[in-house]
Amino acid sequence: MIPKHIACMTKHLIEDKEFFLYFHKPVEDVFDLVLHKQLWREKYYLSFVDGDRFIGSSLDYQKSVLYNLYSEVKMKNRFSKIYFYQIILLDRSYSKDELDRLEQLYAWVKDEKINLTLLLCPVPSDQILTLFSNFEDRENVISSLSTYVPNIPHESMASFDLLEIERSTRKNKGYDLGQKRFYLTFVLIAINLLYWLYMEMTGSTTDIYHLIEYGAKYNPLIANGEYYRLISSMFIHIGLPHLLLNTYALNVLGKDVELIYGSSKFLMIYLISGIFGSLGSFLFSNALSAGASGAIFGLMGAYLYFGVRKPAIFSARYGMNLVTLLIINIVFGLTNANIDNYAHIGGLIGGFLACWAFGFHKERLFTLKRILLQLMLINIMILCLFIGVRIHQNTSEYHLHKGVQYLRQNNYPRARQQFEAGLSTNPNAAEFYFYLAFIAYNEGDPEGAAAYLEKTLELNPSDSMAKKFLQEIQQQ
């Protein structure tokens, strides 16, 4: 009776609570069965104990039964929080004296600081009794078994293939993502490669002016209305190592995200993450930047959302490896001045929010809650863009860009206005004085031009163009 009872409980725990078989040693009888479940850094283990032998034995034997499994598991999971359920099965009734003797065991468990819930299942009574527990049963194992055990069919207990039950449960619950072709992941990789090759054929992907020409994130131009750069910059890479690193990361991370969320949602998550990354960089970094890093961090945000929604599946598939990888990348970005960490963090946040707004593959896209979240996403992007534009339209870089733009149009009054505004934000920028000298000279004021050039050379004595220009004016 007991072996089939254990088989039924094991089947129930696999199917209902997603506790799966843990093969720590060869299974010679039912009391060797151990089930486990992981939720982030918390790991739960459940085993069965021969009650006739356990209850009637000495305290030392009882300790050894509990401690052997505990020490083995703890050795393999030094940095995880471990919780144990142990179910004592009896094929008879129990006495009060037998339960009283377990008080010493409970005292020892507390001293050893073992997180243990000890349950008793007298098979004839169809009950589950909690003998003692020193942790909260957040997985509701006790209540689930208390409901199930009285309904176990004693008369017609069939034999079970527990491995097949586990395989089927993993597939039905989403632990096995299945196999399919990753069209969009490879399409995005191909776009990145082809655009990089095209840029290399027409110039150099490490040349700043070439990068700006082909759509890199450059704050003055975005503030001037070239908003497309928030998207185009995520398909541009600065040199071959940058391209290879991001291509590898997209290949590794993109496949499962495309499976979990579906191809259409995957594309939306990727693009929104990239835009959030560009906006993060636009708001907080003045440096020119490009690359798919923001979108790739958005894919990490997609994994985190998956972990929040499906912690057991996430933990079983990835453990803490992805979280550790994310932390390492952020720390590395914070300690390396050449990495645009604002784009990374922006992309991570954008990816998480996009997944929240869209949901998993086959989940409805346009529910009331999701429509509100999608509107929130759009409003956040618009607000960030508006704030960024206001910020950068008051920077010296923006005034320099606008001034040069007006110079090319021979609009000297508007150009002067921009250069003077730039000086109010950065009075030590020699470029503004040089351009003001150029305007003064072309408006017939050589003395004013000379004064501006002298100020230019005061701030930048090595400016050969200013020296030559000043010499030409003085020789007239």
Query: Which two tokens mark 261?
Result: 């969320």
Does residue 84 come out as left (phi exceeding 0), alpha (psi in the -120 to 50 range) or beta? beta
Q: What is the DSSP letter of 159?
A: -
What's the rounded Cα separation, in Å, for the pair 429 and 190?
A: 42
User: What token pair was written down for 137?
Assistant: 């049963």
> Which candidate in 47, 293, 315, 396 is catalytic?
293
Would you give the distance in Å from CA 256 to the centre of its chain?
A: 13
Residues 6+ apart with CB under 8 A from 62: 54, 102, 105
Catalytic residue among 344, 392, 399, 401: 344
| E runs forming strands in 77-128 | 81-90, 116-122
Q: What is the bridge-based pairing of β-strands 42-50 and 34-39? A: antiparallel
Order of strands, sheet of 42-50, starting from the edge strand that comes earlier in the sequence: 20-21, 34-39, 42-50, 81-90, 116-122, 129-133
242 classed as catalytic? no
> Could you give the CA distance from residue 145 to residue 126 in angstroms, rounded to a whole number?
10
Length of the chain: 476
CB 254 within 8 A of CB 300: no
> Which residues are 84's β-sheet partners?
45, 116
Quick check: 421 and 240 in contact, CB under 8 A?
A: no
Catalytic annotation on 95?
A: no
If you search the block for the tokens 């490009």, which residue do you land on? Answer: 290
Q: Which two tokens stand for residue 471?
A: 């010499």
What is the radius of gyration, based on Cα positions, of the chain?
Answer: 34
CA distance 302 to 1: 47
Give the 3-state secondary structure of residue 237.
Answer: coil
**Catalytic residue numbers?**
293, 344
